Amino acid sequence: MVRSPSIRDLLAVGRCAFDSGRAFDVAMMVLEQPRLANRLIECLWDESDGVACRAADALDIVSHELPRVLTRWKEPLLGLMTEALPIKLRWHLAFFVSRLRLKPTECRRAAAVLRTWLEDRSSIVKTCAMQALADLTHQDPTLLPEVLDLVRILSRSGTPAMRARGRVLVKQLESGQPTTWKRIKPRALGERRCTAERLYSPAP
């Protein structure tokens, strides 16, 4: 009897860590069967950078639609932030942290790591870290003065991507608007969303 490929088997397909491989297929699988989310999240700690990064790709899609899948993994994800090395894993973790419901102490813990990522060699990591810091101010308003000053500086002195995003964030933070980064949903996600949400909804 031929064994069906596991989530890790599917995530192992890819030429390098930056290659998304079959991450989209895995995301669709988990959206249709949310009970598989834990198996996907476990792959973030895989010894293969490629598997871990593709797991982050897939989880980004899943958690954008169903952020509650991250809830029980809050503490492990905050811990992973301090040890994550792959660029792609870091920028996805920046998105994940802003989807978690955090206490003020947890916000400050995450913010401390994100500040160090502003010195990362990757412009994408820096920009995502700046975005995540702005998002955290909605959960812990005491972070706002420092983050706003920081974003103002980066909107003038950061990489081109940081300057572009920073100008938008400054306006949003100054006016109290939501800072959520609007992102295009993957094609075909809309038609499967209702099924995924129905399957994930707890029983009455």
Helix, strand, coil in percent for the chain, rounding step 5: 70, 0, 30
Question: Given pLDDT bands bounded at 50, 70 and 90, which one contains residue 194?
Answer: very low
Same domain, 171 and 146: yes
Q: Which span out of 118-122, 195-199, 200-204 was modeled with the highest average pLDDT?
A: 118-122
Same domain, 69 and 14: yes
Question: How many other C-beta atoms are found inside a 10 Å radius of the C-beta of residue 25?
Answer: 14
Overall number of domains in the chain:
2
Q: Are 49 and 17 a contacting pair, CB within 8 Å?
A: yes
Work out the percent of the chain whose per-residue pLDDT is above 90: 79
* Per-residue pLDDT tens digits for 3-21: 678 999 999 998 888 889 9
Same domain, 175 and 196: no
Q: Please count the CA atoms within 13 angstroms of the CA of 201 that sit on its side-chain side.
A: 8
Question: What is the value of pTM for the model shown?
Answer: 0.85
* 2 in a structural domain: no
Average pLDDT, the chain: 88
Same domain, 20 and 86: yes
How many angstroms separate the CA atoms of 107 and 103, rounded? 6
Same domain, 175 and 75: no
* 1 in a structural domain: no
- Cα three-residue angle 93-149-160, rounded to 5 degrees: 60
How many angstroms separate the CA atoms of 185 and 60, rounded? 11
| Side chain identity at residue 66, one-letter code | L
Look at residues 198, 179, 182 and name the one whose alpha carbon lies nearest to residue 31: 198
* Per-residue pLDDT tens digits for 114-161: 999 999 999 999 999 999 999 999 999 999 999 999 999 999 999 999
Question: Given pLDDT bands bounded at 50, 70 and 90, which one contains residue 53?
Answer: very high
Same domain, 115 and 140: yes
* Per-residue pLDDT tens digits for 68-97: 999 999 999 999 999 999 999 999 999 999
How many angstroms separate the CA atoms of 75 and 65, rounded? 21
* 139 in a structural domain: yes
Range of the domain at 129: 103-179
- On the question of pLDDT at 199 being above 90, the answer is no
